[in-house]
Chain A
């Protein structure tokens, strides 16, 4: 009996380690003194924005399935479990890495436009332009060009959906007063899908038409909206209490769902607060 108890204990530990809690903890505020004036400077951390391809997510593909383990004894079961766990973890990591690499390849045609965007953002928010990279793990350094009472630091990541018809901004935003964090959250903005006159039409041509005007203006637009939404959230503009609803929106050609509270609307976007307290702007139609 004690052997069974010990096996169950080990298995429980293994099973509970399968997913770690997320690290990011939002800190919300409703401070109206936080506004885009001489009191507050906005800056993008060095190395950002990062441009990435958004791999096709499984979304609704969870399926009820069964896999059997061999073994006539607790020891054999345990050995099979550990080996499976190790193999599965390694396999998942390598599959994820390959999927991300493949997803990033869709950004190759946009290299020149991305460089221009770095210059445009860099002139305003960075001391020196960042570098096009898919490496989000490298250490970042804050580049400051003036002193202010409050500082809004952004770590924007811009994803292109796998169908190449939408851009998604995911940006960490943090406001500090020099010593303390006053506000911290993640802002997500999903652009509306670009129009497709025919199924054969290559989205790259649409984005890059007219020297990449649409690509650049969309990136800069969602970036600027991200700054604005972060500030509005920090000021408490999105603190309205409302019932949770399930919102649906098209992302990468597939319908996604998000349980959230409606906190605002613009002509282009519906603004919601997700269950993780993030601010998310989804296309209005």
Chain B
């Protein structure tokens, strides 16, 4: 069996050599963080300084240093762990009632395993935040069972909440600079002195905060505030992370980076994390999530039997300048079941066994002016259609 740490480091070198400098850099930092070794941290931070100080996008001149660093990390043996897949949170038939004739969430059943990423989608007011806060033990569920299975257990509720990390949509204001806040968070988790500083710098580099480390909260953009929250969260070595709309207010590039980071962190072979996050960015969520929970009126998609509807049906989302008639003319009557238009995009439902490629071909033949097309047959996007 190949050593996962070595595979990770080789990947980092490969990314860097191919020119995916940022990805390689972040992967190397993850590998270095796995070592938990002060000497490695020092060496990596030396490289980080060079990397961050080079203003050109092309970092290929740093490949030698990068490799040296990667080899040093490789020298620290990290045994393969089998933590991924261990159940860490189990919620059965969770229900939250807010009084008679008021909103009811659930019943929802969730089983979170280490390394799992759960996406939570649904329109506003359908219970995403409620479910997250129940899982974060911030509010009490009206009925149902909720249990946690941390590697070291917990002594009391405060201890439980220390282990659960919930990042709300609007993270609280903090004062002072980035470094001090991260050091303050880390020192409470028993990491003091030199290691405290090194680990904080590692995390700052990992989340792209290096240039902003001396800034204050109000001086950071929304994206960097979210990165700060993630850095602070990860310093606590959490086993469960619950994020409420982490992508809100982020530009598309920032969204992609954050999602990629979440995935990398969740799937860490040393400290895999169970993650649940809610978002309105359906496609981005689906891209990184192992499972997506769709909530409508407080009920999960399983409970609504939505999953079964159109389970073998091809459903297309289409954005075009052409008219509805022109679209209809592109397909045989026998193929197209119905078209829905919400004012922005068309949703096309097809009958029988028809492939996405044949749809593309049919549209190309009619020379329609396509802005955007997507197969949403397996996506929760289809639930958002009325």
- Is B one of A's binding partners? no
Residues on A lying within 8 angstroms of B by beta carbon are none
Residues on B lying within 8 angstroms of A by beta carbon are none
